[in-house]
Amino acid sequence: MAIVFILVAPVIGGLVAGIDRKITAHMQGRVGPSIFQPFYDVGKLFEKENAVVNETQIFYAVCYIIFMAFTGALFFAGGDLLLVIFALTLAQVFLVLGAFAANSPYSYIGAERELLQIMAYEPMVILTAVGMFVATRSFNVSEIATTTIPVVLLIPGIFLGFLYTLTIKLRKSPFDISTSHHAHQEIVKGVTTEFSGPSLGLIEITHWYETVLLLGLLYLFFGWNPLLAVVAIVVLYLIEILIDNTNARVRWQFAVKSAWLVALIVGVINLAILYFLSGGVP
């Protein structure tokens, strides 16, 4: 499964990005591009000169895609969920380092906001792993994915909290504070401003890897019923697109505070209730 993910995830992720753009266009009263347009765009990027401000940017871009591919491969191979989360965070740090390597105010602002986003969603992501363990008594992805326990019914609060942070992870409005595919905010591309050509192409492919990984994490909540899981993933992603097109970007202060508040209320309380209902058994 690890090799399958490395080879197939960019195709699935690119198609999801294309469908996303198509649906967004229809929501805005436009025809929109072909669903294959993301592949055409990345192909053009690899045909361009790799002009970067700092050569270390290329190194960080390569590390970013390598660690993201490793994270997804570990997840789909049924590895440890905590290790998956730590590897995912490490991959994100390489993108931040690449942005800091360029002497650009827009890139710096984007990198700082990317760090703030990591601080915002990381507590809820960790709580999600803990919730999975409390519900299934395992951190092993393969065991969680094949469990007969209705995980989403045991940790509904954590599920809602994860959905909240999913909007941040997918870089959807109102939480597209570090970079955006919309042209309505002051830094536009932010963290990726100073990347171009093949380096930017690698980053786009990395985002496709990450999208598939995030959808895989969603699957774990419904692993006891694979058909329901697929339907839930489709519906929830459509909701994310709707949110993206009906909300204006919020300030980074709200993003951090609200994400922590959600983690505290729905995450911690859900775990506490589940703990007491199980008789305090760890």
121 contacts: CB under 8 Å, gap ≥ 6: 165, 168, 169, 259
State the pLDDT confidence band at 126, using cuts at 50, 70 and 90: very high
List the chain domain ranges.
2-277
Question: Taking residues 131-142, what's their average pLDDT?
Answer: 92
Does pLDDT of 115 surpass 60? Answer: yes
Locate all alpha helices (DSSP H) within 77-196, ordered by sequence.
81-100, 105-136, 141-145, 151-154, 156-169
Lowest pLDDT segment from 121-130, 168-177, 207-216, 238-247? 168-177
pLDDT given for residue 260 in this prediction? 85
Mean pLDDT for 162-167 is 92
pLDDT score for 181: 66
Reading the block at residue 57, the tokens are 């940017």
Token duo for residue 247: 């909300």
Q: How far apart are CA 168 and CA 87, in angstroms?
A: 18
Q: How far, in Å, CA of 257 to CA of 27, rounded?
A: 30
What is the average pLDDT value for the chain, to the nearest integer? 88
Query: What is the reported pLDDT for 20?
Result: 94
Give CA–CA dist 68/213, Å, rounded: 9
Q: Quick: pLDDT tens for 263-273.
A: 888 888 888 88
**Token pair recorded at residue 115:** 């760090």
At residue 172 the predicted structure's pLDDT band, cuts being 50, 70 and 90, is: confident
What pLDDT band is residue 87 in, cutting at 50, 70 and 90? very high
Which residue do the tokens 């760890």 mark? 282
Q: What is the distance between the alpha carbons of residues 131 and 26, in angstroms, rounded to a whole number? A: 37
SS3 (DSSP) at 140: strand
* Max CA distance (Å), the chain: 62
Whether residue 174 contacts residue 247, with contact meaning beta carbons closer than 8 Å, is answered with: yes
User: Which pLDDT score is estimated for 143?
Assistant: 94
3-class SS of residue 202? helix
pTM of the model: 0.91
**Cα angle vertex 145, ends 143, 151, to 5°?**
100
Distance CA 171, CA 12 (A): 18
pLDDT, position 278: 67
